[in-house]
Structure 1
């Protein structure tokens, strides 16, 4: 079987077709190697989504059709459901009862609604294609190689008795290679336990697949005995002009030897060889270590993403007592954490013309000035024609994103509906809203979204098809600003502005 298998099935939008749909999804799941129980759960989720579309999308049009597209890779099985019915952001099941999620811990029973479907898969993505219709994309990650067992029993022994410094030695700094995956997984376990947010690093097959596809570029530090003592890398999920900086880890026994700097220098050489337009990264704020690393590499803060990540510190604290202030503040259990968005141009940026709300122009000018961008503000203009937006919900972090690619006449009500669906139907704790700054309708959408509770969060340069995104966000969880620790003076100034805007919007809504 090829490494990537793609299939399609097109059927009439007829409830009698549901059995075929279920068999198709179940067959792909079994082909992917999922256990019988998980394959049945995934098939039920796909059947439920198709039944929902058939009952609510077409308003009795018997000539309509539903297309299913399946893609199987070593990393994941993705099933996409396409229809050209009513735009998805009009809720199709407003009167559906709430699912009993308490009884769905092990399997997903056939119950109504997207709130139940999202519990059967690892990722749910909504895409609205304008005149091309709607797409609901369900992704189930594949284990590949099972997670590694604990290399040592869990104890509460102090660090001195648990981790002995390695003997002084020379390290080989080289690119990550296929076959290194299991050693990188061991490294991540030693550093993070099982709490690292990118779970692909615990599955060697997934990491090897991303490496072969060019979606991951990594540098490792190899000790004299062959142990991978450190890793630094970048991710290129769509093989575009940007790469995400991150995945930094140094084994406790090998710290204090300059490995982070050595790996960073080698990684920078490789990134420059790729001819990318820019680097971006997200740094946690429960401590400033990763921020300082981004600062030292010439990246600049361009946004504050409040409560955008859900961290789990239980494993960290069980493995050893807290050794720093930030670890003492990290109470066991799930916590929402704020992230700093960083960016750096790798080539001299061109003069940038953006259409921004007058209220935020002063702060935007400060952000762009630090990036070395010659900025010019355009006058706003009204939207014309159809719009296009995507909605993404990450179940692992509880965060949703509404990404507007093209501003159209009907974009604003679609944003309102998408935000309500994310918060009320699937329980998103935070929703980001990305508006294209190159388009004249951005100021109008920004002001209207602020009236709905969104507030300024920063910019994401070079992330839109036609330029940069203005980022707003909506919080559906409580924020404690005292938990946010920042390293650079400008990050602190940016946070103060974001919190000020949050309070201003709250007074108006």
Structure 2
């Protein structure tokens, strides 16, 4: 080995398509490599933030919309520092601002604050490159840390116990602070992508579609969050999501305190219950839901796109959409309701109702009593970033089957991979029409209590999506029974 090779070692090299959804893979690689080759945890976090900003600049500004552009990221370890290079052959832009000591550009300020040196230069026909340098601390020079010691936060990283943390409802002007918290905890992997668009998330708070409880430190920085999402302001149930506590403030019991405050708040607003989605790449979040009293009600196969990266996921598996488990927990005492069950799914639905301890009068529908309105009312919520669509049937009309078929055709042309369909169980037409709906490619995936001014039967449709049941890890015995049923329904539809 020559002296040059010894002084500068390339640890990793990535060629990445300039798309935002692939950025988490780059950041995870930077974090894992830097942890294993000598940077301490605070330095790793800063290098990760600086790399994110440099790559984001390429993704947002280097290529025209629709242009098939790529960029390269290399990770080097030198005798005294780590060096990240981000190189692209996209549209030239003013690199002088990266080299200015005084700049008004917030992104440049971030890169400068998080690194010891920022360099940039043009490479002629080879494009341009940005270099980010992070020096080792004195004691870590020529010393490679083990993965376990590198990834564990030290006591010095924890906030002082004397620092006061206050709980309150979140204001719309605090969404940037919340986005920073979610990044620190999840990176860019959280399924609710609205959180990464502060202005959009602020509008959701202002409209009443999101209620957020936050924990703030003495600097008014958000260090904990728990939110409840509604799809419409008329909903009786919400989704419990965006639970996060800053690593510096863990061990203070913030999550139980936020949960109690949130339950009191949504109860006052008339919310009857909360549902949540738990990942299935491991059982930790499922186990947590069960411990908090939530009940399993179904599974949505291939729910989350490959950008939802989790700690235990292997790199070679990132192109597989991930399944989620559905949970429901009551907030206020339940009231008795009448529901009409499709004959095919009667047994599994009865078991779910018994498991959730909901008061229901279960009936079978009479086909001779079909009463359809002139026109259907199907609400569609399209999420292009997830290649998914969520449909709600608010009213059945004589044109229902035709209207649903048109929706499927339109969404398939948009390359939507997952379509979720919620049907009202208080309407006997759901039980009567369910067999015809399933002939179109939909299959059973669960129960959504109180979701459509009453309980909803949830079906799903997969459009040219690969699914492997072996990639799903299920926690409880009852959940395994539901999952087995859903998989069998998928197989039946898939084979047909």
Task: Tell me the TM-score range normalised by the shorter chain.
Answer: 0.5 to 0.7
Q: Are residue 216 (structure 1) and residue 210 (structure 2) matched?
A: yes
**Which residue of 157, 174, 179 maps to 1:164?**
157
Q: Find the aligned partners of 1:311 and 1:257 in 2 and give their Cα distance.
A: 33
| Deviation readout 1:434-475 (Å, 9 max, x if unpaired) | 22222222233211122232211112222224x222111122
Any stretches of 5+ residues in structure 1 without a counterpart? 1-104, 110-144, 317-325
Partners of 1:439 and 1:366 in 2: how far apart? 20
Q: Are the counterparts in 1 of residues 263 and 331 from structure 2 also a CA contact under 8 Å?
A: no
TM-score of the superposed pair, with normalisation by structure 1? 0.63
* 1:458 is aligned to 2:446: yes
Distance 1:261 1:172 in 2: 14
* Partner residue in 1 for 2:405: 416
Equivalent residue runs for 1:357-436 within 5 Å: 357-371=342-356, 372-381=358-367, 382-386=370-374, 387-423=376-412, 425-436=413-424
Distance 2:255 2:363 in 1: 40
Question: Within the alignment, does 1:294 sit opposite 2:289 as a pair?
Answer: yes
Q: Which moved more, 1:303-312 or 1:346-355?
A: 346-355
Question: How many angstroms apart in 2 are the aligned matches of 1:181 and 1:401?
Answer: 25
Separation in structure 2 between the aligned mates of residue 341 and residue 401 of structure 1, nearest angstrom: 15
Q: Give the CA deviation at 1:179.
A: 3.6
1:278-299 superposed Cα distances (whole Å, 9 cap, x missing partner)? 2122222223333333323322
* 2:98 aligned with 1:106: no
> For the Cα contact (< 8 Å) 1:183–1:228, is it kept in 2?
yes
Query: Which structure carries more helix by proportion?
Result: 2
Contact kept in structure 2, 1:313 and 1:332, CA below 8 Å: no
CA distances 1:12-67 after superposition (whole Å, capped 9, x unpaired): xxxxxxxxxxxxxxxxxxxxxxxxxxxxxxxxxxxxxxxxxxxxxxxxxxxxxxxx
Alignment-derived partner of residue 457 in structure 2: 470
Alignment of 1:434-449 (within 5 A): 434-449=422-437
Matches within 5 A, 1:322-361: 326-329=311-314, 331=316, 333=318, 335-361=320-346
The alignment's TM-score, normalised by the length of structure 2, stands at 0.64
Q: How many residues align?
A: 357
Of stretches 203-212 and 346-355 in structure 1, the one that deviates more from structure 2 is: 203-212
Q: 2:299 aligned with 1:304, yes or no? A: yes
1:132 match: none
Which structure has the greater CA radius of gyration? 2
Give 3-state SS (helix, strand or coil) of 1:472's partner.
strand
Q: What's the offset of the Cα at 1:397?
A: 0.8
Q: 1: distance between equivalents of 2:289 and 2:444?
A: 23
Name the CA distance, whole Å, in 1 between partners of 2:191 and 2:251.
24
